[in-house]
Amino acid sequence: MLAYTLKRLLAGIVTVWFIATATFTAMHMVPGDPLMNDKAVSAEIRANLERKYGLDKSAPEQYVIFMKNMLSGDFGISFTQQNRQVNDIIRDHFPVSATLGIMAIFFATIGGVLWGALTALYRNRLPDIIIMFLVILGISVPSFVFAALGQLLLVNINSLFGASIIPVAGWGTFSHMLMPSMVLGLGTMALLTRLMRSSMLEIVNEDYIRTARAKGLSPSRIFFRHQLRNAILPVITVLGPQIAAITTGGFVVELVFAIPGLGRYFVQAVQQLDYTVIMGTTVFYGAFLVLMVILVDILYGFIDPRVRLS
């Protein structure tokens, strides 16, 4: 178990190093100039700016410096937010994205598991058809549409009551988080519903279910003890990457709901060619994703005793 964990962690570190190197290379190959702005600057100012950000050195030299700093946990200062450390940006804004992401995952898992189980129980009957139709909508409609619609819904609810029942945007209280986290979790919820449904359907016909029925167990006991517990495994598998995807992929939702999360920095940094922020956020998210995958694998062993970690 310990050896397995260590092995996975080591492989994880190599993965993160690879992510960092690939991002660094790709970033420098993207055309465009991070120091260029609306107003052209003289060669002297340009040279000073380059020196400040270490861009006067060759790419391999920059890579070595970057790797050295990264090992000591320093990603440098942002190009666009000139006085802010990239570390500060991650520290200030990741908790926001994480909170939003955890709530979204919460909605998605509860919803996905319940809807999935429900559709399996009502297979090919009306509830199944309706829910599966909604699931396809949830998977195929992009989140910016849901975000805009969700916000519009709140505006209409508020104007109906003539007071601000639920805030339409912003961050701070629990009520601020409701709509954005639901919108953010919608896609994952749809995915999990489908996954849960198919895995439930597989299990319904298993021998041990028949045995359980033959033993005279109550349907609810069969459902919770035998069906749900076994069917949930594939859900756990995708949950790891989904957690990472949700906590990092909230860019649109963060933009529409004016939420100060890290997702905005992640995407805007690429648009603005903010080298240090690109590297900082990508490496951070990469490490986060790798960690989640490892955690899920380890968790597997606890949920399903048949899985031996070796």
Partner 1 sequence: MKYLLFLIALWSAITSAQAPVTSADFENQTISIALTQEPPQLNGMKATDQVSNFILPHIMEGLVRYDRRGRIVPGVAHRWEIDPDGMGATFWLRENALWSDGKPVTANDFVFAWRTTLAPKTASEYAFILFPIKNAEAANKGNAKLTDIGVTAVDDYTIRVELERPTAYFIKLTAFATYFPIREDFFNSRGDSYAADAQDLIFNGPFRLTEWVHSASLKMEKNETYWNKEKITLNQINAAYITEDSRARLNLFIDGKIVHTRLDGETYKDALTQKQRIRSFSTGSIFFLEYNHREGRITDNLNLRRAIQHTFDSDKFVNNVLATPGNLAAESLFPVWLQGVEDKFRKEYPAAVAVVDQELAAEYLAKAKAELGIDEFPALILLSGNTPTATKQAEYLQGLLKSRLGLDIKIDKQTFKQRLAKMTSGDFDFVLAGWGPDFDDIMTFGDLFASWNLNNRGRYSNPSYDELVRVALNNVDPKTRMDAMAKLQKIIHDDAVILPMYEQGVIYLMNSKVRGVVRRVVGPDPDYTYSRVIK
Could you say which of 29, 44, 60, 124 contacts partner 1 (CB under 8 A)?
44
CB of 9 to partner 1, least distance (A): 32
Q: Is 142 in the site for partner 1 (CB under 8 A)?
A: no
In this complex, which beta carbon is closest to partner 1, that of residue 8 or of residue 251? 251
CA distances to 152, 188, 257 from 178, in Å: 14, 16, 11
Q: Is 281 in the site for partner 1 (CB under 8 A)?
A: no
- How many residues lie near partner 1 (CB under 8 A)? 59
Task: Classify residue 10 as exposed, middle or buried by CB count within 10 Å of its CB (0-12, 13-18, 19+).
Answer: exposed
CA distances to 45, 48, 253 from 38, in Å: 14, 18, 29
Could you say which of 31, 73, 142, 216 contacts partner 1 (CB under 8 A)?
31
Scan residues 146-165 and list those touching partner 1 (CB under 8 A). 148, 151-152, 154-155, 158-159, 161, 163-165
Q: Is 29 in the site for partner 1 (CB under 8 A)?
A: no
In this complex, which beta carbon is closest to partner 1, that of residue 21 or of residue 164? 164
Could you say which of 16, 70, 89, 279 contacts partner 1 (CB under 8 A)?
89
Could you say which of 99, 272, 287, 291 contacts partner 1 (CB under 8 A)?
272
Q: Is 22 in the site for partner 1 (CB under 8 A)?
A: no
Four-CA torsion 163, 168, 169, 172, nearest 10 degrees: 50
In this complex, which beta carbon is closest to partner 1, that of residue 148 or of residue 307? 148
Q: Is 109 in the site for partner 1 (CB under 8 A)?
A: no
Q: Is 90 in the site for partner 1 (CB under 8 A)?
A: no
Whose tokens are 């953010």? That residue is 184
In this complex, which beta carbon is closest to partner 1, that of residue 132 or of residue 178? 178
In this complex, which beta carbon is closest to partner 1, that of residue 30 or of residue 64? 30
User: Taking Cα atoms as reference points, which of 254, 255, 236 lies closest to residue 295?
Assistant: 236
CB of 149 to partner 1, least distance (A): 11
Q: Judge whether 65 and 47 are in contact, CB under 8 Å.
A: no
In this complex, which beta carbon is closest to partner 1, that of residue 8 or of residue 254? 254
Q: Is 110 in the site for partner 1 (CB under 8 A)?
A: yes
Q: Is 81 in the site for partner 1 (CB under 8 A)?
A: yes
Q: Judge whether 260 and 96 are in contact, CB under 8 Å.
A: yes
Interacting residue ranges for partner 1, rule: CB under 8 A: 30-34, 36-42, 44-45, 48-49, 52, 77, 80-84, 89, 92-93, 110, 148, 151-152, 154-155, 158-159, 161, 163-171, 173-175, 178, 255-260, 264-265, 271-273
